[in-house]
Structures are given as C-alpha cells and as structure tokens.
Amino acid sequence: MLRADTRSVNIAGTSRTAGHDPAVIPSASSWRGGGLGCKILNMQDLYIENWTTGDDDIELRVRGYGVVFCIRFSPETIKAPVLLQQHFNSLHALDTEAGSEVANQLARPFEPLMASLAPEAQDVAGDLLSDYLYPKHFVLEARASAEDTKSTPFFRASITGQDLTLPGGNIRMPQLVNLKLEEWVRNIYSSGQISLAPSNLGDARLSGPKKVLADGNPFFFKSFGKPPGGIYRELDIYKRIKEAMSLGTIGPDLRICHLHGVVIDRDILETSTEQRLLGVLLTFIETNKLSRMGTLFYRVRGGKCTTETLSRWASELDDCITKLHNAGIVWGDASPHNILVNNEGNIWLIDFGGSYTPGWVDKEKCETVEGDLQGIERIKSFLANHSEKANGV
C-alpha cells in the first residue's frame, strides 16, 4: 500500500485534501509494458518515460527534474460514458504507432498540477546519478463523475520510504551471490560517485543517464532493469571476457564492450543494511548519434556506406565472433542492432545480455554458438544486399 501524505492541493479552484483513499501499485503480472519515452510537447521540463496498460487501466510515468509522476486512468474513477469510451480508445491506441501522441494527449491536462508539485529546477542538484535514481514520487489520477464532460486531474498520493519501488536488485539474490562480484570486479561505486555527463542527445536528468562520468572518465551506464535476467548473464560474460584476456585468448584490441565497474548503493531506508546493485559501467562508444541511430542497422540503412566499408565490416565481424567463440564466449543476441559504429567508422559488439532478435536469430538457437553463427550470416547478407544497392545492382 502507498502512504498518502495529507497536503492540501488546490486544483481548478477547489481545495482537495490528499490521502482520501489508498493508492495501490498494480502487480507486475497484471500489467504489460508500454512505449518508449517521449517529450511532452507543451512542457519542456517533463518527459514521458513510458506507459503501461493492464486490467483496463493506463499508467503514464512522467519525469521532471527531481520528480516522477505516475498518472493513472481507470474505469473505476472515470464514470462518464463518453469519457469512458475515450479511455478505452486511448487504451488500444497506446499499443499502436500513435502511442506517443496519445500519451502526450493524456498527459497535457495534468501539466498545471505537475508544475505545482515539481520542485524548482534551481533547487534540484540533478547532476549525479543518485539524483536521477531517487526522485520524489507522486501519484496522480483522472476523475470524472457520470455527468462530467471532461475528466479532472487529481493529486492522489506521494510515495515515500518503504513504499517506494527501489531501483536495482538486492546483492543477496542467489544469482548475484553466485557471481562473487567482490572477487573480480575492480571498481565498485555508489550512485553518488557517478556524474551525469553533458550530452548533445538530450537532458539526461529527464531522458535518463546513458553517458556518465566515473573518476572523470566517460562510461555507458546500463541499469539493472526489470526483468533483471539479462544482467546476470551479462555479468557472467564480462567475467569470462576478463578471464580470457588474462589468459591471452582475447586481446585488448578486440572491439567489444567491456565492464569497468558496478554501481551499488545501500538501501535508502535508514533501518536497512541491505545493498542493491543498480547497474553496470561499460565501455562508452562515441557515435555522436541518438543511441539506436549509431547502430550498424541504421548506419547501413542510411545508405551512405561504401562497398569497401561494408565489406570491411563483414570481415571484422567474422574475425570478432571467431575470437569470442575460440575463448568459449557466446555473444547471445547477434543482430545489427547490437553493433555500434563509432566516430572512426569501426564496429563494436555490445549487449551480452542474451536473448534473441526475431529475424536475425531463431528462438531455438538463442544464446548458442549456432545462433551466433546464424545471426552473423544474416548480418553479412544484410551488408551484402546494401553493397549491391550502393553499386546500383
């Protein structure tokens, strides 16, 4: 259960006291994931991180500087027949290509309320990873009686203390204990020791940290994630990579992502001595492009690659995967979406979290040598097809 504070919030000229009813976080099993983040068009300091739908309900997760708003829409609080039909239309539209615009439309009426609750930008430090990971949390919801012609934004609760869903995973989880991180991970940081790096790809305080600074050096921050299964495999692979490098079976010049360190925080509850793994720090590969646009897939689809470059990438890909396999390491999710092209035009293999990408690796070959080889052949065919187009074939 969430604990609602008892502040009085003035909405549309009417004073409403929060805490009138409990706000219940839906169970993960009853909700399905929604879309990617997007900017709220009318308000520069808010960013829709994602949305979820389930049991006829909608929840938008909107981030501002130092704050997160969970905006909920439910038939339980929207009683007007016309508005209820609009709600169900939105519910279905969020799962289409129009999802981002629908999410914007749903969020816009809440802008004044969010603005009144959000801390002043100058009062938010905002430049540390900890500032991003531990924002204030508020629950808002849309309400409409049977006679209303439009729904009204309401403040429902603030979430604090033990009611917060904390980032990361407990380091006492069996999967993490078995990895024995303390024996082989050289660099362990707290989130307060990591800075958000300036970027031309958007404000990391809103859209989320990717490039961060540790000891003054740039790294890619990959969060623990939900569900967390991929990070267990990824850490195990990085352990194997480190062992292979110490044995000389993998050279330091192999262009693959490496683990620099992990980010671990003590539980924010004062009564707790538990620690949580928040994420990992990986090699930062500079592409000067939005994350997905720097991948091999989009670089090739852009149509500006020469035949010589495409041929070189195919050869380098063969060489890289052969060296990994010779060291007993399976890439696990071979696709051009998991290859970055850096500013010097070199390819780098990333994402050792496993799984598979439909169209590149068959499901039954997921996380196997055979799956890697299948994916590599399909990537090379993808490169060859675009090489023919470059030559006008």
Say if CB 364 and CB 281 are below 8 A apart. Answer: no
Percent of the chain residues past pLDDT 90, beyond the cut:
59
Residues 266 and 320 in one domain: no
**348-384: per-residue pLDDT in tens?**
999 998 888 999 999 999 999 999 999 999 999 999 9
Would you say residue 47 has pLDDT above 90? no
Would you say residue 90 has pLDDT above 90? yes
Would you say residue 29 has pLDDT above 60? no
| Euclidean distance between CA atoms 239 and 183, whole angstroms | 10
For residue 309, what is the domain's CATH number? 1.10.510.10
Residues 140 and 33 in one domain: yes
Tokens 């052969």 sit at which residue?
A: 322
Provide the pLDDT for residue 24.
33
Q: Is residue 303 part of a domain?
A: yes
What single letter denotes the amino acid at residue 151? S
> In the chain, what is the greatest distance between 2 CA atoms, to the nearest angstrom?
74
Say if CB 210 and CB 228 are below 8 A apart. Answer: no
Confidence category of residue 293, pLDDT binned at 50, 70, 90? confident
Confidence category of residue 5, pLDDT binned at 50, 70, 90? very low
Q: Please give the structure tokens belonging to residue 139.
A: 């629950």
Q: Is residue 341 part of a domain?
A: yes
Domain boundary among 106, 133, 163: 163
Q: Is residue 33 part of a domain?
A: yes
Residues 202 and 314 in one domain: no
Q: Is residue 2 part of a domain?
A: no
Q: Is residue 3 part of a domain?
A: no
- Beta strands 169-170 and 275-283, pairing class: antiparallel
Domain total in the chain = 3
Identify the weakest region by mean pLDDT among 33-37, 95-99, 301-305, 323-327: 33-37
Residues 334 and 386 in one domain: yes
Provide the pLDDT for residue 311.
95
Residues 137 and 59 in one domain: yes
- CA-nearest of 338, 329, 326, 333 to 282 is 338
Residues 139 and 30 in one domain: yes
Residues 105 and 153 in one domain: yes
Q: Is residue 50 part of a domain?
A: yes
Provide the pLDDT for residue 134.
87
| Euclidean distance between CA atoms 335 and 317, whole angstroms | 11
Domain boundary among 265, 284, 303: 284
| Euclidean distance between CA atoms 298 and 377, whole angstroms | 18
Q: Is residue 1 part of a domain?
A: no
Residues 198 and 319 in one domain: no
Residues 320 and 244 in one domain: no
Would you say residue 253 has pLDDT above 60? yes
Confidence category of residue 294, pLDDT binned at 50, 70, 90? confident
Say if CB 300 and CB 336 are below 8 A apart. Answer: yes
Would you say residue 41 has pLDDT above 60? no
Would you say residue 31 has pLDDT above 90? no
For residue 224, what is the domain's CATH number? 3.30.200
- Residue 389's domain comprises 287-393
Burial readout 311-335 (b: 16 or more C-beta within 10 A, e: otherwise): ebbbebbeebbebbeebebbbbbbb
Residues 139 and 23 in one domain: yes
Provide the pLDDT for residue 36.
53
Whole-model pTM: value is 0.80
Residues 147 and 262 in one domain: no
Mean pLDDT computed over 3-32: 31
Higher pLDDT, 334 or 10: 334
Would you say residue 226 has pLDDT above 70? no
What single letter denotes the amino acid at residue 92? H
Phi, psi of 89 (to 5 degrees): -65, -45
Confidence category of residue 274, pLDDT binned at 50, 70, 90? confident
Mean pLDDT computed over 184-207: 83
Distances (CA, A) of 219 to 260, 263, 285, 291, 292: 8, 12, 8, 14, 17
Element (H, E) at 281: strand 275-283
Domain boundary among 262, 284, 306: 284
**138-195: per-residue pLDDT in tens?**
999 999 999 999 999 999 998 876 667 778 888 888 988 999 999 999 999 999 999 9
| Euclidean distance between CA atoms 219 and 129, whole angstroms | 12
Residues 295 and 275 in one domain: no
Provide the pLDDT for residue 135.
87
Beta bridge partner(s), residue 355: none
Question: What one-character DSSP code corresponds to residue 173?
Answer: S
Tokens 């998991």 sit at which residue?
A: 338
> Helices 99-107 & 81-93, crossing angle to 10 degrees?
140
Phi, psi of 135 (to 5 degrees): -80, 170
- Beta strands 275-283 and 259-266, pairing class: antiparallel
DSSP labels, 181-205 = HHHH--EEE-GGG-EEPP-TT--HH
